[in-house]
Each structure stands twice: as C-alpha cells, then as structure tokens.
Amino acid sequence: MNRNVQPTIHDIARELKISASTVSRALNDNPRISLKTREKIKAVADSLGYRPNTLASNLRNKKSNTIGIVVPLINRHFFSSVISGVEDVAYKAGYTVVIAQSNDLAAKEVNIVQSMYSNRVDGLIISIAMQTEAFDHLKLFSKKHIPLAFFDRVVSEIETDKIVVDDFAGAYKVTQHLIDQGYQRIGHLAGPQNLMIYLHRKEGYLEALKKNNIPFDESLVLINTLTSEDGVTAAKQLMSLSNPPDAIFCGNDITALSVMIYLRDRGIRIPQEVGIVGFSNEPYSKVVSPSISTIAQPGFEMGQKAAELIIRKIENKEKTYQTIILPTELIIRESSYRGK
Amino acid sequence: MNRNVQPTIHDIARELKISASTVSRALNDNPRISLKTREKIKAVADSLGYRPNTLASNLRNKKSNTIGIVVPLINRHFFSSVISGVEDVAYKAGYTVVIAQSNDLAAKEVNIVQSMYSNRVDGLIISIAMQTEAFDHLKLFSKKHIPLAFFDRVVSEIETDKIVVDDFAGAYKVTQHLIDQGYQRIGHLAGPQNLMIYLHRKEGYLEALKKNNIPFDESLVLINTLTSEDGVTAAKQLMSLSNPPDAIFCGNDITALSVMIYLRDRGIRIPQEVGIVGFSNEPYSKVVSPSISTIAQPGFEMGQKAAELIIRKIENKEKTYQTIILPTELIIRESSYRGK
DNA sequence: CAGGATTAAGCAATCGATTGCATTTCTGTT
DNA sequence: AACAGAAATGCAATCGATTGCTTAATCCTG
C-alpha cells in the first residue's frame, strides 16, 4: 500500500523529464544549472520528500563524513565528556560520530577498530583499553593514511596526533600538596604501568617525594586496575603494614572514594589521620563527605581538541602531528586539607 | 609512493584471474563456490589486506547496519548508561551505533534526526529534547516504516515502541515514603509538563497525597526545567512561603542536590526539619552527605531493551508495537529517613 | 563414448549520487 | 537568415559489492 520507497534523484528527474545529472547538480547548487531549473528541481524534491542517500554519495566520493570514537567505557563521566566534546565539534563541521566501547578488552577493541575501518570512517579518535598491548589494528590506520588521534591513553610507539593532560605535573602537584599539608608517609595506588597516564602519575609522585627528600618506600606503592574493589583491597593491604601511610594518592577518584569509605568505616578520620587525594574529578567527588581533593581533567575540551585536530587532518589542512598537553588543575577539598 | 588505496574484490579477482562475483561469493562463504577456490580467495584477500567496503555493501543491500541514538546530553549518567546498553546489544548483533546529542534544543534535534535519515540508519532510538513540541521529523521515520523507538521521554502521539520506567508508580512510592516518615507538607519540583515523564511524576505525587487524604496545595508545586539553578530558585521560593513545606520531592537528583545544599547552607537540618527525595539515582546521590533518597531507573537495561526491540523490528521478527514499562526502585537514604 | 545431470564460475545489471566530456539550445551579430 | 560562441543540459562511466540468469566445466551412467 504505502510506498515505503525513498525517492531518488532519478524520480525527480523522471517527474521533470530531465536527466539525473542535472538534478544532482541543481541540488548541489552548481552554477552550471540555471537558477530557474534549480528552483524547479528543489520544489519537486521537496514535494516528493526527497532526502539524499548519504551512503551512495559517500561511496562515490570515497568519504564517509564520519568520525569514529572508541572509549573504554561510555558510561564514565570523563569519557562521556570527551565524547560530548567530539560530538560538539564534529556536528558543527558536518560530521557524524560513531561510537563504540571496548569495555577495556583488547579483543573487543581490535574488532571495533576493524569494523570502523570497514565502515570507512574518515578518522578515528581512541583511548586504548587497559589490556591493549599489540597495536597492529591501529597501525593499519596510520599505514593507510587514515587520520588517527589518541587521547588520554595514548600509544607512544605510533606517531600521530595525541591529546593528553599533564599527568606527571598533576601527580606532582597533588603529591606536593599532601606534603605541604604535613603528611609524611604517602602511599600511591597506581594503575597498569603499560599505560602512560598511570606511569606518568607514578613518576610525578616519585619526583615530588624526591624533591622533598622523602625516602621512597616500595611497599607504599600498589599497582592494580583501579576499580572500586581494587581500592578496598589496596587500602586493607596498606593499612595493615607495620608502618602504614598517613596519606594515599589514589590513581583515580573511583578508588579514592572506595578507599575513603573503607577507612571511614574503620573509624579512621579523614583528613586528620589519613589524607586522601584522587585523580580525574568525578562529579561526585565534590559532593561526597568529606569531599575529595583531586586533579581536574578537561574532558570536554580534550574531545573538542581531538575533533579539531582530526578534522584538520581529514580535510588536509595540516600535515604535521602534534601532541597537545592540556593543563590540569589541582582542586583542594576536605579529604586532604588540614588547614595548613 | 605508498599505495594509499584500499584493495577491492576486483583487485583480488584480477590477482587470481577470476571474476569479482566469485570473489564476493567466496568471501561470504557461499556454497556455490567450491571450498578450494574459497580458500584460495581468502588467502589472497588476507595477503592484500582486504577489508570489505561496508559503504558499498550497504548501498547495494539497502541496509546500513547502523542504529542511531539521540539523547539530550551524552554527558549525563542516565543517558550515557542507556547508550552503553544500546551499544552492548547492538555490537553483539553486528550493528554500529551512531550517536548525537540534541543539547535539549528542538532545532538541533530536527537537524540530527534528518541527518540520521539521510545516513539511512536502520533504526532510531531517541529521547526527545525538553523543548521539542512538533514531531514531523520523527513522523518521517514511522511514515517511511523505519523502526523508531522512544525511551524515557516519549511522544504519545506517535505509535511505536516505547521503553519507559513507571514514573507514576515511582513518584507515588517516593511520596508515600515521605508520608510514612511523618512529613505533612510535601512540596514538589516538577519538570516541563509537555514531557510525559514529568507529568506522570506529578500525577503519582498527587495520587499519593489523595490516597492519604492530604489536601493539595498548589503553591507547593513548582514547574521549571530542573537544572541545578532552578533547584536553588525553587527552594528559595518554597521556603519563603508563610507556611513552607517540611519535605520536597524533587523531579530529579540534580535539583535534589542543589536544594539540599541550599537548605544546608541556611542551617536547615536534613532530614529532621526538611526531608528531600530526588529521582534518577545519579551516582553521587549515594555518596553525598546526607545521601539522597531517590528512585533508581535502570538506564543500562533500558538501552538494552530499546536495542533489542528495534533490532527485532529491523530484522522483521516482530510487527506489533509495545510499550515496555520497567519497574523503578525506591532507594531510601539519609535525606528522608527519620527512623520510622 | 554420447548425452543428460550436476557442479562451478562468469556476465551484466543494480544500489543512488557524482562528474568529465559531449551535445543541444539559445543569444546576439552581421 | 546564418553562424559563432555562450549557456544549459544530457550521456555514460564510476564508486565497490551483490545477485539472477547464463554459460562453461565436470561427472556419471547406460
């Protein structure tokens, strides 16, 4: 009954007894077609409810006007902020954004990236999964000269655009802050050291200790995957040391929160007895009690920058790669402030 | 220098001196092609680094294997959870997810939806913008028989699949809870009444009052857009009444939090003097102090359900429309618990 | 070993939009 | 009226994968 079919330029052409090429040109406002016919064609297009088939256009033009973005987990404030930033810029520039989440699984990441390649995305923005340690799926993009940009969790062995925050400086700042507050034995929950961000955070921490002549105690640094549960496990381990820490720099706010709750439930006063700082400034860190000191990362801006960079590459306005290091901001809150 | 070109089935065909159709069939494991040639072809495909061009395939098959999802704001826990759920199911079923955010602007929503149509998404999942009041852009989908599903913020005048939570029951439960706790004058911050969710929440609230023979006082119900700022403004207005409320049912957790902070800063004790409840169970609601009582909405599950429904429609396994009403859960926390 | 049955593979059109080159139509001039 | 030159439009191939219909190759059996 109902015509399910979607009209094409040929339908418009038939209606007006002209050729499809004229219709195509008219709809693209090509001056080769007289204004009069152009208007006539557009009127018919409207009346038929014509909408260009982007697929066909993309195939012919070898351009999908699509940017892919791969994140470990969409449902995470930092990442959804980045996506939001990418979408914001991409939309304004006429690009569609395709998203996928790796769930921090290397295997899924490989699949996703290959599927994005098959979908012929014009560019790919990615923050790699925790487990990812082989990069052939990503090298494919650079090999084929398809623009690729990393953000946050970057791969150092692939030369391309990168947007990161200054993790080292952030970690240094936050550690120095703990020291300024009079904390003496500062522990650190670090993330997987194959990821630069966590390595840099640990290095910033170590550097701050060194600058302040605080001896490094290996037993105070624990490496795990920084889940909520990891935080509890680590807190248990740290506090059962014969000489437990009086402050803990957690690799992210998720562990900072779970560590804090664990300590609180054990009757340990924060920040009086133990100081806690996190990293990332999750929305809840500001409103929990005590509120959590942390390092703010400009997620939305990272997304915007990543999108801008990749679009410049796609449109060939830029040839050279750059690494943009965005500044972080130390946010001092209750969990580490003893009024000094 | 470097061949930037991506090999096609024709390249494989030329290599083996066979026809492209055979290659196509072989790669799709069509039994019409002998196992021997199939393997030969796959080997060559591998060695050339062949990846099918999904664009071409989609054009020919009139199917994009893509599902569009439009949300007001990606960067919002409930919505990113839904997206995550959609992505989860879609990925497993071989679909790509295209996202866009309307920023709660009707005009942007219209643009996005039209662009998704042009991109020939196989189905569209959407939660409409607050301001959206005309629905021609969405009717386009139902008119063309392209599967469409609403979640959360649905349009009642379009008949299609819908996934909502039981806002009425949730609001009833949470209001009844306040009454059980001994609160007598219960105010309500409501959202725009053109959106069913907010209308239903208000109705659930009214019904609970009625069932408990509590007279309805119009001055206790304020309608706004439920931003953080709206919460403060509303709290000010409510508390300056000659007979202010002793409890406030906020239309979402965002306003619940801002109302709570406003009251706290004015020295009003929560829950002793004023009880607060929210709606949506944002991640921070559990960890703020006092923690906020709220209604949990299963965002991830909504996304999964929406994806399942729309995929069934896309693949023609289901003809009839359904409205799935997911149950909500009342989570009683400190902000409204006086130990009764 | 002929001839039908079976198996394997190729031809060419198709999806819808785009574009280089060719053709038609119009305009103005002598 | 005829014609050059400009203006307007059309033809047909292309992008890469798919598929109905044929054709070619191989097999089997009397």
In order, the DSSP letters of A164-220 are EE-HHHHHHHHHHHHHHTT--SEEEEE--TTSHHHHHHHHHHHHHHHHTTPPP-GGG
Q: Is the peptide bond before B271 cis (omega within 30 degrees of 0)?
A: yes
Provide the pLDDT for residue B4: 57
Residue A1 has pLDDT above 60, yes or no: no
Q: CA-to-C1' distance for A68 and C15, Å?
A: 25
pLDDT higher than threshold 60 for residue A116:
yes
Q: Say if residue B192 is in the same domain as residue B269.
A: yes
Strand D contact with A32 (CB < 7 A): yes
A2 within some domain: no
**pLDDT on residue B2:** 35
Q: Determine the Cα–Cα distance for residues A68 and A283; give it in Å rounded to an integer.
A: 26
Whichever domain contains A196, its CATH number is 3.40.50.2300
Helix-helix angle A167-180:A196-211, to 10 degrees: 40
Q: Which domain holds residue B17?
A: 9-52
- Asked if residue B206 belongs to a domain, the reply is yes
Contacts of B75 in chain A (CB under 8 A): 77, 80-81, 83-84, 300
Let me know if residue B41 belongs to a domain.
yes
Mean pLDDT of all residues in A287-315: 95
A135 and A215 within one domain: no
pLDDT in tens, A211-223: 999 999 999 999 9
Tell whether A105 and A174 lie within a shared domain: no
A160-210 pLDDT tens trace: 999 999 999 999 999 999 999 999 999 999 999 999 999 999 999 999 999
pLDDT, position A107: 94
Residues A173 and A291 in one domain: yes
Tell me if A82 is assigned to some domain: yes
A320 neighbors A256 (Cβ within 8 angstroms): no
Same domain, A177 and A253: yes
Q: What is the DSSP letter of A96?
A: E
CB < 7 Å to strand C — which of 13-52 in chain A? 20-21, 24-25, 27-28, 50, 52
In this structure, what token pair is assigned to residue A81? 């902020």
Band of pLDDT at residue A289, cut at 50, 70 and 90: confident
Query: Quick one: A16 and A31 in the same domain?
Result: yes
**A24-68: per-residue pLDDT in tens?**
999 999 999 999 999 999 999 999 999 999 999 999 999 999 999
Give A47 CA → C19 C1' in Å.
26
In contact, A292 and A276? CB cutoff 8 Å: yes
Write the burial class of residue B257 (CB in 10 Å: 0-12 exposed, 13-18 middle, 19+ buried). Answer: buried
Q: In A, which residues are within 8 Å of B124 by CB distance?
A: none
Q: Is residue A135 located within the same domain as residue A199?
A: no
Does the pLDDT value for residue A5 go beyond 90? no
* Contact between residue A153 and residue A178 where contact means Cβ atoms under 8 Å apart: no
Alpha carbon of A340 to those of A89, A335, B186: distances in Å?
A: 42, 13, 44
Instruction: Tell me the pLDDT of chain A averaged across its residues.
Output: 94
What's the Å distance between residue B91 CA and nucleotide D5 C1'?
60
pLDDT interval class at A239 (50, 70, 90): very high
Question: Is A121 within the bounds of a domain?
Answer: yes
Read off the CATH number of the domain in which B15 is found.
1.10.260.40
Residue A57 inside a domain? The answer is no
Cα A172 to Cα A179: distance, rounded to the nearest angstrom: 11
- Total structural domains within chain B: 3
Looking at the structure, tell me whether residues A183 and A292 fall in a common domain: yes
The reported pLDDT for the residue numbered A4 is 58
Question: pLDDT, tens digit, for every residue of B202-232?
Answer: 999 999 999 999 999 999 999 999 999 999 9
> Is residue A2 scored above 70 in pLDDT?
no
User: Which positions in chain A touch B77 (Cβ < 8 Å)?
Assistant: 75, 77, 283
- pLDDT of B289 reads 85
Express as a percent the part of chain A with pLDDT over 90. 93
Does the pLDDT of residue A3 top 70, yes or no? no
- Inter-chain touch A287–B287, beta carbons under 8 Å: yes
Percent of chain A's residues with pLDDT above 70: 99
Q: Which protein residue's Cα is closest to nucleotide D17 at C1'?
A: B57
Amino acid at B40: K
Do B122 and B64 meet the contact criterion of CB atoms below 8 Å apart? yes
Q: Are residues A87 and A152 in the same domain?
A: yes
DSSP letters, A51-83, are ---HHHHHHHHT---EEEEEES-SSSHHHHHHH
A31 and A74 part of one domain: no
HEC profile of chain B: CCCCCCCCHHHHHHHHCCCHHHHHHHHCCCCCCCHHHHHHHHHHHHHHCCCCCHHHHHHHHCCCCEEEEEECCCCCHHHHHHHHHHHHHHHHCCCEEEEEECCCCHHHHHHHHHHHHHCCCCEEEECCCCCCCCCHHHHHHHHCCCCEEEECCCCCCCCCEEEEECHHHHHHHHHHHHHHCCCCCEEEEECCCCCHHHHHHHHHHHHHHHHCCCCCCHHHEEECCCCHHHHHHHHHHHHCCCCCCCEEEECCHHHHHHHHHHHHHCCCCCCCCCEEECCECCHHHHCECCCCEEEECCHHHHHHHHHHHHHHHHCCCCCCCCEEEECCEEECCHHHCCCC
Same domain assignment for residues A160 and A304 = yes
The predicted pLDDT at position A69 comes to 97
- Same domain, yes or no: B31 and B95: no
- The Cα of A209 is separated from the nearest Cα of chain B by a number of Å equal to 31
Whole-angstrom distance, CA of residue B11 vs CA of residue B16? 9
Weakly modelled stretches of chain B, pLDDT under 50: 1-3
Can you give the distance from the CA of residue A60 to the C1' of nucleotide C26 in angstroms?
A: 33
A-chain residues near B49 (CB < 8 A): 140
- Give chain C positions with protein CB within 7 A: 7-12, 14-20
Residue A318 falls inside a structural domain: yes
Is pTM, for the whole model, over 0.95? no
B59 CB contact with strand C at below 7 Å? yes
B114: closest chain A residue by CA: A51
Is B4 a member of any domain? no
